Amino acid sequence: MEEQLRKSDTLNVVGELAAGIAHEIRNPMTALKGFIQLLENSMEKTDGGQEMYFNVISSELKRIESIITEFLVLAKPQAIHYLEYDVRKIMTDTIELLNAQALMHGVEFEVHLEEDLPSIFCEPNQLKQVFINIIKNAIEVMPKGGTITIHMNKADQDAIKISIQDEGSGIPHDKIRKLGEPFYTTKDRGTGLGLMVSFKIIKEHKGHVEVKSALGKGTTFHITLPTT
Ligand code: ADP
Ligand code: MG
């Protein structure tokens, strides 16, 4: 209980900070990107060494950008609009969006979406962001390929159950509670913000998440969302 409280306090503070910082950083970033592009275009293509510098600059800029984008999701909730929406569509859109990335990693989807699912009162773009973040993690945790199994079913008591299961390395038991902590990442190029943002969005939709994991077998994210 105490742990829960502390976590949500941290979330609020980080959220407020995020709003200010993210907007402030975005503008100079856009200028930087533009001028680096101009500089690159005006340089001779003969010097291989310098081309590498540009590659590094642009990949680092991309990294900053993804951190900012994730922070902005935190900053937005004041202005979001909830509407009745078909969650199946949000999921199929997400899968379509990530299909190329999955293919590149040898990952395939097995999708079971129950027909006649009730629509839910939600912010579709935010829920899409949640699905993207969780499915991206699932893809990233299977470098040798595998299957991501997705279920969407009607649960009793006016709720929808969504599960996203991977065949990755799994998460050690004592690390599961660290998921969603700001900046918790085990990846070289991770931001450690994806799950934090996702959990926050689910909470704002009055839903909840449970993570089940078995080392060497894989991880399943169980999401429950209330229907209207
Ligand atoms: P990032 O992906 O940038 O590291 P996330 O917040 O998305 O940040 O995830 C935080 C951490 O949670 C990851 O670095 C990873 O250690 C762990 N994690 C998340 N999803 C999975 C998964 N499906 N399987 C194993 N570990 C996971
Ligand atoms: Mg992630």
Selected residue with higher pLDDT from 177 and 9: 177
Choose which residue among 63, 65, 185 to substitute to test ligand 1 binding: the one with the highest number of ligand atoms within 8 A of its C-beta.
185
- Which tokens go with 12? 């609020």
173: pLDDT confidence band, cut at 50, 70 and 90?
very high
Give the mutation target among 135, 195, 211, 219 for probing the ligand 1 site: most ligand atoms within 8 A of CB: 195
Q: Output the average pLDDT for the chain.
A: 87
Q: Mean pLDDT throughout 150-178?
A: 95
Residue of 91 and 36 predicted with greater confidence: 91
- Across the range 6-29, mean pLDDT stands at 71
The pLDDT of residue 70: 75
CA of 94 to the centre of ligand 2 (A): 15
191 CB within 6 A, ligand 1: yes
The candidate with the shortest Cα–Cα distance to 101, out of 139, 143, 129, 59, is 139
Residue 185 alpha carbon, nearest atom of ligand 1 = 14
Highest mean pLDDT among 8-12, 95-99, 150-154: 150-154
For 91-104, the pLDDT digits (tens) are 999 999 999 999 99
Residue 174 has pLDDT above 90, yes or no: yes
**Of all residues in the chain, what percent are helix, strand and coil, respectively (each to 5)?**
55, 20, 25
Model ipTM?
Answer: 0.99
Question: Who contacts 191 (Cβ-Cβ below 8 Å, separation ≥6)?
Answer: 63, 66, 67, 70, 183, 185
Report the pLDDT averaged over residues 93-122. Answer: 94
Identify the three-state secondary structure at position 171. coil
138 lines ligand 1 (CB under 6 A): yes
Q: How far apart are CA 118 and CA 137, in angstroms?
A: 27
Average pLDDT value for residue range 46-69: 80
Distance between CA atoms of residues 94 and 109, nearest Å: 12
